Structure 1
Amino acid sequence: MWLRLAAVGRRHPLFGDPGAAARWALRHPDVALIAQCQPDGADGRTYMPDLLTPRPAPGPATRTFAEQLAMMDATPQEAAVHQVATVRFGEGPVPAPLRSALEAGEFGRRVANGMRQFWHDAMADEWTAIGAVLETDIAARSRQMAGHGIGHLLDTLHPHASCSGTRLDVRKDAYEETIQLTDKEVVLTPTTQGSDICVQLEATGDFVLFYPADGLGAALDRPRTSAMGRLLVRSHATLLTDLETARTTSELAARNNLAPATVSYHLGVMHRSGRVLRQRDRHVVRYRRSAEGDALLGQQQPAR
Structure 2
Amino acid sequence: MIHAHLDAETVGRIRFALSPVNEAVWWLRYAVTGGRHPVFGDPGAAARWALRRPDVRLVAQCLSVPGGPTYMPDLLTPKPAAGPAHRTFAEQLQAVGGTAPEDAAFQVCEMRFLNGPVPGDVLDAVESGTFAARAAHGLREFWQDAVADGWSGLKAVLDADVAARSTELATYGVGHVLRSLHSDVTWADGRLTVRKNYEETVRFRGAEMVLSPMAASWPQVSVQLGQPGNAVLGYPATGIGTAADRPRRPAVARLLGRSRAALLGDLAAPRTTGELAARHRLAPATVSYHLGVLHRSGLVLRERDRNVVLYRRSAEGDALLGD
- Same fold by TM-score greater than 0.5: yes
Deviation at 1:282, TM superposition (A): 5.2
Q: Which residue of 1 aligns with 2:207?
A: 184
Q: Which residue of 1 aligns with 2:34?
A: 9
Q: Which residue of 2 aligns with 1:29?
A: 54
Q: How many residues align?
A: 296
Q: For each residue in 1:264-289, what CA deviation from the matched residue of structure 2 results, as whole angstroms up to 9, or x when unmatched?
A: 24323323444323234454222111
The answer to whether residue 150 in structure 2 is matched with residue 126 in structure 1 is: yes
Deviation at 1:240, TM superposition (A): 1.6
Q: Which residue of 1 aligns with 2:100?
A: 76
Summarize the Cα distance change of 1:213–1:277 in structure 2 as closer, same or farther, 3 Å threshold.
same
Q: Provide the aligned C-alpha RMSD in A.
A: 2.2
1:249-288 alignment to 2 at 5 Å?
249-256=273-280, 258-281=282-305, 283-288=307-312
Q: For each residue in 1:252-271, what CA deviation from the matched residue of structure 2 results, as whole angstroms up to 9, or x when unmatched?
A: 23445554344324323323
Deviation at 1:202, TM superposition (A): 4.0
Summarize the Cα distance change of 1:41–1:283 in structure 2 as closer, same or farther, 3 Å threshold.
same
Summarize the Cα distance change of 1:256–1:184 in structure 2 as closer, same or farther, 3 Å threshold.
closer
The whole-number CA distance in structure 1 between the counterparts of 2:114 and 2:247 is 37
Residues 151 and 165, structure 1, Cα contact 8 Å, conserved in 2: no
The whole-number CA distance in structure 2 between the counterparts of 1:112 and 1:258 is 27
Stretches of structure 2 that go unaligned for 5 or more consecutive residues are: 1-25
Deviation at 1:64, TM superposition (A): 0.2
Residues 248 and 284, structure 1, Cα contact 8 Å, conserved in 2: yes
Q: Which residue of 2 aligns with 1:154?
A: 178
Amino acid at match of 1:67: E
Deviation at 1:12, TM superposition (A): 1.1
What SS does the aligned partner of 1:116 have? helix
Residues 253 and 260, structure 2, Cα contact 8 Å, conserved in 1: no
Q: Which residue of 2 aligns with 1:193?
A: 216
Summarize the Cα distance change of 1:134–1:272 in structure 2 as closer, same or farther, 3 Å threshold.
farther
Aligned partner of 1:210 among 234, 250, 254: 234
| Aligned-residue identity in percent | 58
Q: TM-score, normalised by structure 2?
A: 0.85
1:33-112 alignment to 2 at 5 Å?
33-42=58-67, 45-89=69-113, 92-112=116-136
What SS does the aligned partner of 1:12 have? coil
Amino acid at match of 1:190: P
The whole-number CA distance in structure 1 between the counterparts of 2:227 and 2:114 is 24
Structure with bigger RCO (C-alpha 8 Å, 6+ apart): 2
Residues 40 and 89, structure 1, Cα contact 8 Å, conserved in 2: no
Q: For each residue in 1:141-167, what CA deviation from the matched residue of structure 2 results, as whole angstroms up to 9, or x when unmatched?
A: 111111111111111110000100211
